[in-house]
Structure 1
Amino acid sequence: MPKLKDKRRSNVSVATEIDRLEERRLRCQDVLERAEWRSRREKLSENERQELEDQMTNMNERVQKLDEELQTLRGENRRNMMLSVALLAVSAFFYYLFFYTEENS
């Protein structure tokens, strides 16, 4: 099953994947903030408090993993941008050479 997921993601652009991960990170961050608010405001039993702390730990781990994935994707996005700029510069150079030599001939 994970291979199918990877195949679907391979058809998605890096920018779209970054947006998707940022949305997931915001949702996790929201859940984490609500859990922190609940732990401060409500009187919880020891068992409830432990469950809430476990949930907060889990959300913190997810946020960290998403941050790592985002960092990797942003690096890939920068490489893609630099490649695009380099291709544009090479294309412009050859275009200039073609028309410049046409005028001199």
Structure 2
Amino acid sequence: MFQIDGLEEKLSQCRRDLEAVNSRLCGAELSPEARKSLEKEKNHLMSKASNYEKELKLLRQENRKNMLLSVAIFILLTLIYTYWTM
């Protein structure tokens, strides 16, 4: 769970940084070098955000599997207990 929270925070920060880069790209007159540098930073941030999203998806799937396994074990133990006490 803490991994998911940490990744969500990183993704959020990455998106904020991306918005800032986009606003700088649209806002002012930039030299070709500055524009190229910002475009490079934008591409890097987009790639980073994409990786964070993929990692979050995998962690959530793993979380879901673990939760289902826990529920199945709980049901099994409940059935065994019920059978044993009858």
Same fold (TM over 0.5): yes
The within-5 A match list for 1:15-30 is: 15-30=1-16
The within-5 A match list for 1:26-45 is: 26-45=12-31
Structure 1 unaligned spans of 5+:
1-14
1:71 maps onto 2:57 in alignment: yes
Cα RMSD after superposing both structures? 0.8
Partner Cα distance (1:24, 1:47) in 2? 28
Q: How far 1:94 sits from its partner (Å)?
A: 1.1
Partner Cα distance (2:2, 2:77) in 1? 27
Larger Rg: 1
For residues 42-99 of structure 1, what are the alpha-carbon distances to aligned partners after superposition, in whole Å with 9 as ceiling and x for unaligned?
A: 1111110100000000000000111111111111101100110001101111121122
Task: Calculate the TM-score normalised by the size of structure 1.
Answer: 0.79
Give identity over the alignment, percent: 33
**Count of equivalent residues:** 86
Structure 2 unaligned spans of 5+:
none
1:91 maps onto 2:57 in alignment: no
Runs of at least 4 residues off by over 4 Å: none
